[in-house]
Amino acid sequence: MTNNNNTSSSIPEGSPTGAAGPWILVVDDEPSIRRLMEFLLRSQGWTVLSADGAAQAMEILAAESTPPSLIICDVLMPHVDGLELVRRMCARLKGLNVIFVSGHLTDVSWWPEDLKDHRFLPKPFENAQLISAVKESIGGGNAT
């Protein structure tokens, strides 16, 4: 279920799907949070592509020539959840950097064994928290 409007709004001009160099993929079904993350990361100079769900994220991944430097992925999404999406992406591309975000897992004390090396950021997070988590994940500095 591709939302063309969303895709085009989140992809900079100059390439068929957006990223020419290192880039970050944001996947969240909540438009306001997705846009906020995009805005925040772009303001730091990173190239950001975004998707509203698993299908669109996989399309973007297939269209890009380079893998993303980082994937920021919501956990609870309709149809395919974030855990399953990241598993599919990891099966396709090894060594992906992922930060999971969710506002519903505060009381939960489990995490899939195969995804335990990825970071988790509980929602709501502060801007500085997100930026610092991204910097730590992709080794600091701007990706562009």
Partner 1 sequence: MDINLILSAQTLSLAPNVRRSELKDGIIVLKNISARTYLRVTPDQWQILRKFEKPNMVPNMLGDAIRDRECLALGESYELILKALKANILLEPGVEPETIQAHDWQSKVRASVLERPLVILFVAGLVMALGFHPKLPSTVLDWTLGLVLLCASLSFGEFLAACMIRDAGGEVYRPRWNWFALPPHFTVDMHDTAMLRRKEQTMVALAVPAVLAASAGIAAWHEPGLAFFSLVGLVLSLRPIFGGRLAALIHVGSKRMPSDAEHDFIFPPNRHPKARVKLMMTAITNATSWARIGYGVLWTLALLYWVGRLTTTPPWTLLFWKQNGLLIAIAIGGSLALMGLSYFLWEMYHWSRGFARGRRNTMRLWKTRWFGAGSIPLDESSRVKMLTASPLFGTMPPPKRQEFARTMTVRRYSPWAAIPEASDEPTHVAIIVSGKISLRRKLPTGRTVQVQVLSEGDVVGLHDLADPKHPGYRLRSLTPVTLLMIERSAVQALIQNTVPQTTLVDAILKRPFLRRISLCRNWHLQAVHRFARLSSIADYKQDDPILSEGQTVEDFFVIFEGDAKVSRDGRGLATIYGGDFFGEIGLMQNSSPNASVTAHHRTRCLRIPRVELLRFVTHNYTVALEIERVSSERLGRPLFPLKVGDFRIQ
Binding site for partner 1 (CB under 8 A): 29, 75-76, 78-81, 83-84, 102, 104-105, 107-112
Tokens matching residue 96? 């992906």
Q: To the nearest whole angstrom, how small is the minimum distance from the Cβ of residue 70 to partner 1?
A: 18
Tokens matching residue 43? 């303001």
| Rounded Cα–Cα distance for residues 129 and 137 (Å) | 12
Q: Which residue's CB is nearer to partner 1, number 35 or number 87?
A: 87
Burial class (CB in 10 A: 0-12, 13-18, 19+), 140: exposed
Q: To the nearest whole angstrom, how small is the minimum distance from the Cβ of residue 84 to partner 1?
A: 7
Q: To the nearest whole angstrom, how small is the minimum distance from the Cβ of residue 97 to partner 1?
A: 16
Give yes or no for a contact between 100 and 86, defined as CB atoms under 8 angstroms apart. Answer: yes
Q: Which residue's CB is nearer to partner 1, number 21 or number 139?
A: 139
Q: To the nearest whole angstrom, how small is the minimum distance from the Cβ of residue 77 to partner 1?
A: 8
Q: Which residue's CB is nearer to partner 1, number 59 or number 81?
A: 81
Q: Which residue's CB is nearer to partner 1, number 79 or number 92?
A: 79
The one-letter code for the residue type at 10 is S
Beta bridge partners of 132: none
